[in-house]
Structure 1
C-alpha cells in the first residue's frame, strides 16, 4: 500500500504497508496520518544511526524494541523497550541503535517531507 493511500484512513493493517529504505540499517513505515498527526514505525539494525537533526514538528518516540542512545539537545541517555523521548520544536535530537530496535514516532503536524 502506498503511504498516500493512508491519509485519513481509520483502520490500517500493518502488513499491507511496505517498508521504505532510509539509510544503512534504517527503514520506516508511515502508518497513519492526517493534517495534524502522523504515526511512523522506524526499524533500526544494531549500530545504525538516526542522525542528529531538528524540525518544526513536535515529536514523541516510543521504544517498542531494542535499546538506543538518544541525544536530546545537550543531554544524552540510553533508553530501552518501553521508554519514551519527546523532541520539542527545533530541538536537535538523534539516536544510535545499541541493539536491533524499533521506534514508534508520532509527529504534530504530519511530516510533509516524509510524503514527498
Structure 2
C-alpha cells in the first residue's frame, strides 16, 4: 500500500502496512492520515535512541509497550507502558529505550517528511 492510499482509507488492517527500517534498532509504520492528523507506530529495540530533535508539528506520544527515558526541553523522565508525553511545537525532545518498546505518535499536521 502506498502513502496516497492511506489518505483515502478509513479502515486499515495493521498487517497491510509495512515497517520502515530507520536503523539503530528503530523502525516505524505510518498509519492512516490526512492533512491535519497522522498516527505513526515507532518500534524500539532496547538501547535504541530517538535523537533529540524538534519540529513545528504538535506531537502526542503514547507508550504502548516498554520503558523510555524521555527528554523534553530541559526535563527528563522515565515513562512506562500507559504513560504519555506531549511535544509542543519546536521544543527539543528525544527518547532512549530502556526496555524494548513501542510508541504511538500522533502529529498535527501530518509529517510530510515521513512520506
Q: TM-score range by the shorter chain?
A: over 0.9
8 Å Cα contact 1:52-1:94 kept in structure 2: yes
2:70 is aligned to 70
Q: What are structure 2's unaligned runs of at least 5 residues? A: none
| Alignment TM-score, normalising by the size of structure 2 | 0.97
Separation in structure 1 between the aligned mates of residue 23 and residue 75 of structure 2, nearest angstrom:
25
For 2:11, the equivalent position in structure 1 comes to 11
Match of 2:26 in 1: 26
Please report how far the alpha carbon of residue 23 of structure 1 lies from its aligned counterpart in structure 2 after TM superposition: 1.9
Count of aligned pairs between the two proteins = 115
Please give the alpha-carbon distance, in whole angstroms, between the structure 1 residues aligned to 2:2 and 2:40: 14
Provide runs of 4+ in structure 1 moved above 4 Å: none
Q: 1:4 Cα shift? A: 3.0
RMSD: 0.7
Unaligned runs of 5+ in 1: none
Contact kept? 1:3, 1:17, Cα under 8 Å = no
Deviation at 1:65, TM superposition (A): 0.2
Deviations 1:19-58 (A, max 9, x none): 0011210000001100000000000000000000000000
